[in-house]
Amino acid sequence: MPGTPLANCPPPARPCRVYFVYLFVLWILGGIAPASTLAQSELRSAPLSPAESAGQIATAPGWTAHLVAAEPLVVDPVEAAFDDAGRLWVVEMRDYPFRIAETPRGRIRVLVDENGDGRYDAARTFADHLEMPTGLALWRDGAVVTMAGELVFLRDTDGDLQSDTREQWLTGFAQDNEQLRANHPRIGPDGWWYIACGLRGGQVQLGTRYSHRLQQPIEIGKRDIRFDAVRGKIEPVTGPAQFGLTFDPFASRLFCSNRNPAVQVILEQADLADNPLAGIVPATLDVLPAGADSRVYPLVQAWTTSNLHAGQFTAACGVFTLPVPGDAPALEGTSVPLSDEILQWVFVCEPTGSLVHRQLLRRGTSHLERVPAAEAEQQEWLASRDPWFRPVNVGCAADGSVLIVDMHRAVIEHPQWVPTELKQRPDERWGDAAGRIYSIALATTMAPAGDKPDPSRPRTAPLETTSHLAAMVRDLGRRPLRGRPAVELVNLLRTDNHWMHQTVTRILIEREDRSVLESLSQTASDESVPPTGRIAAVQAAMLLTSDLAQTAASWLGPQSPDWMRTAVLARLRRLPVERWCEPPREFALQLQRSAGGSGAEQFEALLCLRHCPMGEPPQALLRTVAQSPDPWVLAAAAGAFAEHPGDLLWHWWQGLSRSAVTASLSARIVPIAEALTRQAVSRAEPVDDANVVFPWDQIARELDTSDLPEAQLGAGLAILRTAWDAGRRDASTAESPLREARSKTLQRARSVATASNGRSVPEWVRVEAIRLVAHVRDPQDVAIWKQLVEAESPPPLWQAALQAWFATEPDSCGVYLLAGLPRWTPSRQRIALEMVPRHAQTLEALVRALESGVIAPRQLGSSAIERLAARTRGPLADRLRAIVRSLSNTNRAEVVARYRSALELHGDPSAGRAVFQQYCASCHRIGEIGTQVGPDISDSRTKTPEQLLVAILDPNAAIDNAFFRYTVLTADDQVIEGLIAEETPDAVVVVQQDGRRHVIPRSEITDLRASGVSLMPEGFEAQIQLQQMADLIAFIKGWRYLQGGVPIEYELQDR
């Protein structure tokens, strides 16, 4: 049997004791991340035994976990991969968080299962003394490894499982922090190597292996890279990935970062080149809920540096996709819709919660989509009660089961990111001699129908269900895949084993054996072969064939299922166009037929068409793709039909007449209209013939004569404004009917802006009408703008009208601005202050008003005035900075000086909690105490006690105007004071000091004024003594330590 099933491990001899309380940033993180679990018992300085810790793991129904390897064979593992002989290669990052020994201790270990039971019992060191290795991929006679600043190929030329040759392929990856290094080298569907660059990029260039070739270093920035190891070529690709990179069967690349558990790359850099919608339609998409929308359910009491992140992804890493085997839904006791599509699981580690998250995905038109669960799940696929369980990576075991890499440490955050008091914590390296690797497999015996999982106990499974990995490892040990004939390897693609598909494909590519092409083609066309096996055959054939056009065309016909055609097209667009677009016209026609279809095939075909020259596209095809509700299809079409932008613009605008207007659609209509129009205008040839009608001319006529749906109306206004801005046809001859059409269009736009036509029009459409009319800067329109501004219109309308007024008549608008600033809400103040520097007289008048006190500087706040100074030059900037300095309260400074001695006292966090609860909890929340009204102060790791002292005693010293106290007078003479939490077109939401929320209709507000001071009152010192201040600061800084979970003595004076 392949190791001990975790359900049969003996129970721990003592309760699992959680020891640490301050885990901010894992080694795979690059910023603020969650902390660890709350202490529940006494500290322990050693890990639970592998059996004890394994016994704390609970899995979803149908799955069972098995321990595959543990220390001392493996220490600090961060990635693992099975080779074709059943051996397990492991990357050990043993020096983390930083090297303390003279010689680096990172290494690559090769584990061997000598007795064939599936539990690895021997190891060989393949490579030693590596500087912070982070990832590996098996290749030919060795491994491609990412390590400090490099991508290297470590070879074993004599077969003794020890590296004897080192080839440096790339160098120049950033090394700012050990957490943010290049990782996860993977062979992509195009045969290039893809690297996750760890968020920090670098200046990457060819290494010594390619010293005979010249290529300038490439600035990675916020991207990742791909690398052709044969030609020695580096190219940036869409990113950036933090720690995790994987490809799905449709060649889609997914990565992750702290708060984004699974991000799909939809458009690569090549797809975005010269595409007018680049930056408007995003290149990536979160296919799992991210940030505040994400949810995780740990079995340990995970907490975060901010109360706002509890129960969310904050340390996502090791994302991995796995096609769902054909019998998996039945084995797992779940049901999914029956169809011929390929379903896949996505797995993501959340180390701070000691869990691995999983969701089910299907391929949509342009991107992956979640398959909703039958009922809301509040249990993770895998979670542990041992807080030292630190899953950091996911892979595939040789039998197709899921491989989990557990770095298994107590504290693995980097000292750079932790508070001062934790930088020298004695438990920093507890567990740095530990490491575990697990295989998580589907069981063949299920729980009774209706049995609900019990997260308090591990899942049980019969012993015989653990034999699969052991049998596979024994078979591979006897007959490694590399020694088998090519035809036998191709036959292995008929299995439903993702690891086998990947490994066989890699070996065939390494061999470059084109004699298997016929066998691959037969396998790809055989309906009895699992879909993912057929796709693997396609992958190998497309990389090996010398006649890619004919090979691909054979799978693009109607006889192939949709998923097959999609998989082929997705690979074509990533391969050199000269290999497949031949002959160009014939292949372009084939692509046009695919693009005229629907779903994912259409999307991938459009991206291919961008690279394949074609003649005049059929108008029916243009209409079909331009009117797709999927914005990525439109982006693909914009690239494919770049030579025909006017036609694409027209068909897109026509399609809006049938579009259901959603919030997401209305938000992107205007930028898409602007981008497509700019492209169309740039390609339009100037003509004198008034009978030649461009798309925007025709749109202008339809605006004048038709009662258009709101989406078409708003887009049409944006198209005309953009075209007129570009100077096209706006200066037509007097005889031209277009001049008359323009006049009618402006009149129509005025009626839309003022809603005077009796028709209810959405705000965003009225805003576009204002912007179009403002284009001509007609003084007669100022009355319209003044009416909209003075009527306190909803914020978007108010802003557009104010900007139109300011652009047309800045003198009168400037006077209005200065009069309104003291009483406007923060959002309106910001809008106004952004406009002021554009007009010298208004800026000068504002500075004088602030200096004289006509406008109290505190009503705007020091931050707002500083931002204004940053946008100003010369003496006025100096005067604004002097106003900021004048806001310093001398009296407050004296109080702060008097209380500074509190910082020398021993602060008692427990006593400080009582002070906080009594005096601060009405506006602030820390842990479970208080109400969140003011700023979030629960994460104070970067604040010094001195900074906290000033913030407490002089709350107005540097207060953002978002936290000003506002006074609202209502029509029925109520006075409501508090912070403005939200603004809607019809109401203002005020939160009072006790947390009560008041939704006040704008129609009932008779006056609204900023006090210019914080909701937190001055004079706090009158309520507490020096010792209480010391205790309060100690609590704010050290509240997480109150349960005794960290082996440090917290001292205020040490901070």
* Annotation: CATH topology of 6-448+461-468: Neuraminidase (2.120.10)
30 and 18 in contact (C-beta within 8 Å)? no
pLDDT at 411: 60
414 and 429 in contact (C-beta within 8 Å)? no
833 and 867 in contact (C-beta within 8 Å)? yes
3-state secondary structure of 155: strand
pLDDT at 448: 34
* Strand residue runs (E) in 62-130: 63-70, 77-82, 88-92, 106-112, 122-130
The pair of three-digit structure tokens given for residue 176, joined into one six-digit string: 């700012």
Residue 816 φ/ψ, nearest 5 degrees: -65, -40
| Domain extent listing, the chain | 6-448+461-468, 485-545, 644-776, 806-886, 907-1054
Q: Pick from 395, 352, 387: which is nearest to 77 by CA?
A: 395
Virtual torsion, Cα 226, 232, 235, 238, nearest 10 deg: 0
- How far lies 949's CA from each of 843, 847, 930, 954, 1054, in Å? 36, 32, 20, 8, 15
918-977 pLDDT, tens digit per residue, is 878 877 888 778 877 776 777 676 678 888 888 887 776 665 555 677 888 888 767 787
Render 558-612 in DSSP notation, one character per residue: TTS-HHHHHHHHHHHTTS-HHHH--SHHHHHHHHHHHHTS-HHHHHHHHHHHTTS
* Strand residue runs (E) in 1-102: 57-59, 63-70, 77-82, 88-92
- Tell me the CA end-to-end span of the chain in Å, nearest whole number: 55
Query: What is the C-alpha separation between 141 and 150, in angstroms, rounded?
Result: 19
Which stretches in the chain have pLDDT values below 50?
A: 1-42, 338, 414, 417, 445-465, 688-692, 728-736, 1047, 1049-1055
As a CATH number, domain 907-1054 is 2.30.30.100
642 and 679 in contact (C-beta within 8 Å)? yes
Residues in the chain: 1055
748 and 704 in contact (C-beta within 8 Å)? yes
DSSP3 helix / strand / coil % (the chain, rounded to 5): 40, 20, 40
Question: Which pairing describes strands 106-112 and 122-130: parallel, antiparallel, or unpaired?
Answer: antiparallel
pLDDT at 603: 96
Q: Pick from 577, 532, 530, 537: which is nearest to 554 by CA?
A: 537
Residue entry with tokens 């008097």: 898
Q: Which residues pair with 77 in a beta bridge?
A: 92
Query: What is the C-alpha separation between 351 and 499, in angstroms, rounded?
Result: 24
pLDDT at 14: 32
pLDDT at 991: 81
286-332 pLDDT, tens digit per residue, is 999 999 899 999 998 765 555 567 789 988 999 999 999 877 765 56
pLDDT at 922: 72
As a CATH number, domain 485-545 is 1.25.10
The pair of three-digit structure tokens given for residue 246, joined into one six-digit string: 């994987």
Query: What is the C-alpha separation between 368 and 891, in angstroms, rounded?
Result: 60
Find the radius of gyration of the CA atoms of the chain: 32
3-state secondary structure of 1023: coil
pLDDT at 151: 98
Render 767-821 in DSSP notation, one character per residue: HHHHHHHHTT--GGGHHHHHHHHHTT--HHHHHHHHHHHHHH-HHHHHHHHHHHG
Query: What is the C-alpha separation between 386 and 78, in angstroms, rounded?
Result: 18
Query: What is the C-alpha separation between 192 and 232, in angstroms, rounded?
Result: 10
